[in-house]
Amino acid sequence: MKRFFLSLILVLSNSIFLFAEEKIEIFPSVPFDQFIVYQNLAIFWVAIIGLIVIIRMKLREFERIQKMGIDKEEKDIPLLD
């Protein structure tokens, strides 16, 4: 009897999935593909941070030159013949 009830519960619980809505996969479902996506995202962020560091260094260089006033071309500069 106990076995009968257990098997009945199992059948009923499985039948629930028959009525469940088919879910559309909007993201790769294979674990390896998921790993590749997350790995690429991490590399992407590393590249972004690297670019930001380079841009900031460049920006500081511009500001330093502008502060010194040597970013503009001098007027009446002597020309070499």
Partner 1 sequence: MFFFILQFITGMVLSMYYIPHLEHAHKSIIEIVTKLNMGWFFRSVHHWGAQLAIIFVFIHVFSTLLLKAYRKPRELTWVTGFMLLTISILFGLSGYLLLWDERAFAAVRVATGGAGNLPLVGGFIKAFLRGGIDVTGETLTRFYAFHVAILPIITILLTVIHLMLVQMQGMSIPVSIEKKQHKTMLFFPNMFYKDLIIWLIMLGIMVSLAVFFPPEIGKKADALAPPPENIKPEWYFLFLFQTLKLFPGEILGLNGETVAIIIISLGILFFFLIPFFDKKSSRGEPSPLFTWIGIIYTLYFVVMTLIGFVT
User: Any idea what DSSP says for residue 20?
Assistant: S
C-alpha closest to that of 39 among 28, 54, 50, 26 = 28
Only segment of 1-9, 11-19, 34-42, 72-80 that touches partner 1 (CB under 8 A)? 34-42
x-or-dash pattern for partner 1, window 35-74, by CB under 8 A?
--xx--x--xx--x--xx--xx-xx--xx--x--------
- State the minimum distance, in angstroms, from the CB of residue 31 to partner 1: 15
Calculate the alpha carbon distances from 71 to 55, 63, 65, 66, 75 in Å.
Answer: 18, 10, 6, 6, 12
Residues at the site binding partner 1, with contacts judged by CB under 8 A: 21, 24-28, 37-38, 41, 44-45, 48, 51-52, 55-56, 58-59, 62-63, 66
